[in-house]
Amino acid sequence: MRDLTPPSFDATQARSDILGAEFLGDGTNFALFSDHATRVELCLFDETGQEELHRLPLPEMEGGVWFGYLPDILPGQVYGYRVHGPYEPENGHRFNPNKLLLDPYARELRGEIIWDDALHGYTIGEDDLSFDTRDSAPFMPKGVVVDSRFDWDTERALRTPWTDTVIYEAHVKGMTQAHPDVPEDLRGTFRGLVTEPIISHLQKIGVTTVELLPIHAFANDRYLVEKDLSNYWGYSTLSFFAPHAPYLKTGQIREVKEAIRRFHKAGIEVILDVVFNHTCEGSELGQTLSFRGIDNASYYLLADDKRHSFDTTGTGNTLNVAHPMVLRMVMDSLRYWVQVMHVDGFRFDLASTLGREATGFERDGAFFNAIRQDPVLSGIKLIAEPWDIGDGGYQVGGYRWPFREWNDKFRDDTRAFWRRDAGLLGAMAERLAGSPVQFDHSHRPSTSSVNFVAAHDGFTLWDTVSYADKHNDANGEDGRDGHDHNLSDNLGAEGPSDDAGIDTARIRRVRAMLATVFLSQGVPMILAGDELGNSQDGNNNAYCQDNPISWLDWDAARPEIRDAVAALAAFRTDSGLAHTRFSGKEGGPAVEWLHPRGDHMADDDWADPELRLTGMRLQPAFGPAILIIVNAGDDGEFALPDGEWTLRIDTARDQVACDEAVSGVLPLGWQSVAALTCAE
């Protein structure tokens, strides 16, 4: 018979300094921040999360932290909260104890969201000033107490230098779901992600760092479910500590640790794409799942009238990281994933939102300064997506060291240059040199720019050379979603083509664009599948497509592209190009821009709208000189400088990697990149 005697709190062991449900060896400390609550109830459930066994008011509160220690509450205990306080939407308060709330610090979840009107704090069909009395617990996931101990085998962080880093942006499920050599029962999970076929592939193409799309628990949004779609990308965070349960074969967080340990043993770092700018609760008309019911006025930015959310993200709400306890939650999450889960860094979605202060974006805002001074976080890899949709949100080049930034100027100029748009030779030169206008300031290194030509948001690289227009019909929005600024070119046929000439041209251009990524100053990043020639059928906004549209099609892989990526990554390392650290400043490595006739580029040459061929000669501090030639035009020739040159890379050849002594005039194939080294 189940013992329904309610457990008793032990005031002598209760701690307000540890937020969340922390197992301390013989019991669990529960602590939740809510500055405006009048009472907080801890709800304990059976192991299934379906039956609420006890409802216990947390006995103590200090500084807005409600807390209590329960002896004999062990890992595996399922729990949630009900928070009492004023229901005054016009003042920003939306407390409703009828709604079970997920602990923001929950490390593991049991169950999933079952969309029902009871999840709203107000009554659906009425305005948001109304009050709904239905219990939401049957439709809510719950937190689970965990034991964080794990045998890391005395593992040490890899700390791959930025100069050696090659980033691979991937999706946990999409990477393996259609891989024929990954066991079916492991596909789509962390265990599948670290199987031998995946690890071997990453090592072969020179990947040092896997950047995973959001793995924090996220909501499968109701409006998508009702359209038989799903939140595939995961940019709709429910919990900043718990991993997304469908990615776990057993549902236990140790699977994430096991995967990270396996990646590290293979010499591959793990970066997480994190979404601290908003949550899945939407606007004031959204659901009450966690933060809104715990303390809406503290956790979210509100409009001047307090009733409405202040939205700079396009998702309905904005997390209030300027609040010290919300900032602490974010910092605690980051440190948890580094110290307990052993991840190597983070990519911050819509990072400009995190720097929004009362006067707008502030590069020295509380969030950025907190990270820069933190002894744990300041030494890991930190990447900003340097924009949001708010006023003044576009901030490429506006961040301080140690942050690196996604460089969409590199993406756009590279796509346009290889599309043969006129007058872009100067812009391409800037991108090859590390975008100094954007990043050569404030003592920032040349690795500040993360260079890419495709990412999860937009066309894949193969679709960039296969479609002139987006084809998003499967998203159910009549083609209104997704941007139209694709800078793409179908090279003669919209979509798949049986024309051998078109296929050859597409492969040639893709290899040239990938070469541009690997041979430019900065940090190269490729989208998972671009090395395979992966297509999304022209869908440039596949956020809701958890199906073959988004999953990598390994059976259709193009070895001509994969082998080119492997060769480019090897050359980047072997030649010393990755370590040139060109900044253009006195004392840095010398750089010369050469005209195909053999002399230096003059002002008139840069102004020539039809010139699509130039060479960048670098002389690193150590090692041979390097000459990189880009030719976005037709077949051409390039007069080589004096010296004993060796052709190492030629993307116009069947085998991109070369080892051929050359001198005089070098023939260049159309739409190609060549890289040479000099023995002098």
The DSSP element (H or E) to which 639 belongs, if any, is strand 636-639
Catalytic-labelled residue, pool 128, 273, 385, 563: 385
CA distance 495 to 497: 6
What is the 8-class DSSP label of residue 6?
Answer: P
The DSSP element (H or E) to which 606 belongs, if any, is helix 603-606
Q: Which SS3 state, helix, strand or coil, does residue 237 take?
A: strand
CA distance 643 to 615: 15
Tokens representing 459 are 């066309």
CA distance 483 to 457: 9
Q: Which SS3 state, helix, strand or coil, does residue 657 take?
A: strand
Amino acid letter, residue 62 = E
Residue 86 contacts residue 35 (beta carbons within 8 Å): no
> How many CB atoms are located within 10 Å of the residue 483 CB?
10
Q: Which residues contact 569 (CB under 8 A, 6 or more apart)?
A: 166, 205, 206, 207, 518, 524
The DSSP element (H or E) to which 617 belongs, if any, is strand 613-619
Residue 36 contacts residue 48 (beta carbons within 8 Å): no
Catalytic-labelled residue, pool 128, 169, 344, 349: 349
Length of the chain: 680
Buried b (16+ CB within 10 A) or exposed e, 313-332: bebbbbbbbbbebbbebbbb
Q: Is 385 a catalytic residue?
A: yes
Q: Which SS3 state, helix, strand or coil, does residue 254 take?
A: helix
| DSSP letters spanning 32-90 | EE-SS-SEEEEEEE-TTS-SEEEEEE--EEETTEEEEEEET--TT-EEEEEEE--EEGG
User: Which residues are marked as active site?
Assistant: 349, 385
